[in-house]
């Protein structure tokens, strides 16, 4: 994958992958068919991110709320993730992609967690692109688990209470599941829905938001580059006046 020279490229692009079920329904297929086709869009976006110089690409694959979907669909999705990791890991590793999974992994079964651990260990030294899969994740869960970590620290170390009470935004960032990862510059949601759906609520405070009508299985390299073009035209002031 060659890397293009671009200016004003976002460091971190995050995707809310929506519309797999509708895409399948439009074709008279079961919902899971759309999930399988969506893997091709993941591959295309990873390639486009490497080619355009994006350093972090994150994908909202499965939310905490998605556990409420029909059991058969959830089981198929988890099996698809295992297969996709196995099928794509050689290519990701060859192209210098570091692979990460973030979320409430206690809810994942052992087989999936084992595959995740193996993929993360294998690619830990790669530096071209960091690919983050948000799996069993929600923004509220993330903030709550961060608050619990802080509470435990204060209970175990009462002498650090003042340190915690005086903590600023950057200090709280270190307790989030995304600690060490830059906040997303651009969040893109496919399928025409205009909401974050409990995704990166803290980290996305100043992200540019782009909602597109394209269903996820149809979101490929051209759509990814159009999203970067949209971002390049934005005037990011972070509350300041220019």
Give CA–CA dist 141/200, Å, rounded.
Answer: 10
Residue 66: active-site member: yes
Q: SS3 for 202?
A: coil
Catalytic residue among 66, 104, 126, 198: 66
In the block, tokens 């690919």 appear at 131
DSSP 8-state symbol, 105: G
Phi, psi for residue 137 in degrees, rounded to 5: -120, 150
Q: Is 142 a catalytic residue?
A: no
Q: What does the block give as tokens for 124?
A: 């830990």
Closest CA to 61 of 19, 12, 16: 16
Contacts (Cβ under 8 Å, ≥6 apart) of 163: none
**Sheet of 56-63, strands arranged across:** 97-102, 129-137, 56-63, 12-16, 186-189, 208-211
CB atoms near residue 64 (< 10 Å): 17
Q: Mind telling me the catalytic residues? A: 18, 66
């Amino acid at each position: 994958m060659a890397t293009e020279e671009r200016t004003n490229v976002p460091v971190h692009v995050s995707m809310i992958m929506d519309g797999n079920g509708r895409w399948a329904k439009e074709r008279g297929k079961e919902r899971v068919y759309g999930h399988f086709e969506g893997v091709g869009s993941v591959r295309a976006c990873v390639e486009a991110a490497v080619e355009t110089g994006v350093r972090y690409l994150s994908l909202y694959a499965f939310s905490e709320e998605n556990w409420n979907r029909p059991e058969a669909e959830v089981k198929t999705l988890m099996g698809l993730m295992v297969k996709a990791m196995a099928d794509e890991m050689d290519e990701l590793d060859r192209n210098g992609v570091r692979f990460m999974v973030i979320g409430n992994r206690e809810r994942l079964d052992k087989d999936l967690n084992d595959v995740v651990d193996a993929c993360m260990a294998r690619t830990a030294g790669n530096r071209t692109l960091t690919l983050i899969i948000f799996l069993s994740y929600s923004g509220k869960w993330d903030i709550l688990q961060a608050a619990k970590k802080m509470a435990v620290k204060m209970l175990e170390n009462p002498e650090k209470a003042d340190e915690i009470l005086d903590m600023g935004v950057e200090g709280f960032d270190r307790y989030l599941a995304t600690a060490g990862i830059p906040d997303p510059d651009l969040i893109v949601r496919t399928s025409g829905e205009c909401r974050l759906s409990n995704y990166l609520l803290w980290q996305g405070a100043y992200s540019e938001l782009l909602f597109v009508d394209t269903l996820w299985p149809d979101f490929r390299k051209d759509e990814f580059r159009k999203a970067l073009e949209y971002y390049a035209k934005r005037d990011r002031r972070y509350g300041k006046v220019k």
